[in-house]
Chains A and B, each alone.
Chain A
Amino acid sequence: EDQVTQSPEALRLQEGESSSLNCSYTVSGLRGLFWYRQDPGKGPEFLFTLYSAGEEKEKERLKATLTKKESFLHITAPKPEDSATYLCAVLSFGNEKLTFGTGTRLTIIP
């Protein structure tokens, strides 16, 4: 059974204070690892997909990296509008369902 663990559960940063969110996973065969952003009262918004260890992707102040056991979402010089819950999910070979972690609730203080 696929499993995803995210840490920390919550993170408060000052505006401009860089940090990283962690996603550890266990899958029988990784087909893809996904990062989503979720704002209160809204559905998850797709950010990145990573497929193989060593892969990196960037979007504005966010960079996602992948190893064989975990993924990191690095946030550089965050702004208050980056405040949201960040969800990590995995897709394994042989099925089409995403398995999600419980998310990291990120708050950026002006």
Chain B
Amino acid sequence: GAGVSQTPSNKVTEKGKYVELRCDPISGHTALYWYRQSLGQGPEFLIYFQGTGAADDSGLPNDRFFAVRPEGSVSTLKIQRTERGDSAVYLCASSLGIGGQNIQYFGAGTRLSVL
């Protein structure tokens, strides 16, 4: 596609529910990143994939958060037992690969609201 695509654009859920957020990277980009942005803050790193494997998941806040990229393209961020503090914009980015310039291009994000 022309850019990074994220669905849904908005997600409202109740505390304790399970949610899945989807990211479709730019065609040909092998690296994929998830960030979280709270109001008035810059994006904070969660996890990145090179191909199908999670190369660095050091930013995941706890074991309720999990992400997969089974075929090396689309990725899903999964959040179990959601809490009100999980409310934020979840941003996905992709790049041609790791190393070198590694310019990351971002999607529009999914705004998650946990009631």
A43 touches B91 (CB 8 A): yes
* Given known contacts A95-B56, A96-B56, A89 and B48 CB-to-CB distance under 8 angstroms: no
* Given known contacts A91-B102, A98-B43, A100-B43, A43 and B107 CB-to-CB distance under 8 angstroms: yes
Q: Give a binary string over A52-72; 1 marks a CB under 8 Å from any B CB, 0 the rest.
A: 000000000000000000000
The chain B residue with its CB closest to the CB of A44 is B106
Interface flag for A49 (CB, 8 Å): yes
Q: Within B67-115, which residues are at the interface with A (CB < 8 Å)?
A: 91, 93, 98, 101-109
CB neighbours of B91 from chain A (8 A)? 43-44
Task: Provide the bound-state CA to CA distance between A101 and B4, in Å.
Answer: 22
Task: Provide the bound-state CA to CA distance between A17 and B68, in Å.
Answer: 47
* A: number of interface residues (CB 8 Å): 24
* Given known contacts A42-B108, A44-B91, A49-B103, A97 and B43 CB-to-CB distance under 8 angstroms: no
A98 touches B45 (CB 8 A): yes
Task: Provide the bound-state CA to CA distance between A97 and B103, in Å.
Answer: 11
Interface size class of B (residues with CB under 8 A): 20 to 34
Interface flag for A99 (CB, 8 Å): yes
CB neighbours of A32 from chain B (8 A)? 101-102
The chain A residue with its CB closest to the CB of B31 is A96
Residue among A4, A43, A45, A98 having the largest count of chain B Cβ atoms under 10 Å: A43
* Given known contacts A44-B91, A97-B45, A49 and B101 CB-to-CB distance under 8 angstroms: yes
CB neighbours of A36 from chain B (8 A)? 106
B103 touches A46 (CB 8 A): yes
The chain A residue with its CB closest to the CB of B42 is A100
- Distance from B60 Cβ to chain A, minimum over Cβ atoms (Å): 12
A44 touches B43 (CB 8 A): yes
- Distance from B16 Cβ to chain A, minimum over Cβ atoms (Å): 27
* Given known contacts A43-B91, A102-B40, A102-B41, A96 and B108 CB-to-CB distance under 8 angstroms: no
What are 10 A-B pairs at a CB distance below 8 A?
A: A4-B42, A43-B109, A44-B91, A91-B102, A96-B55, A96-B56, A97-B33, A97-B56, A97-B59, A98-B33
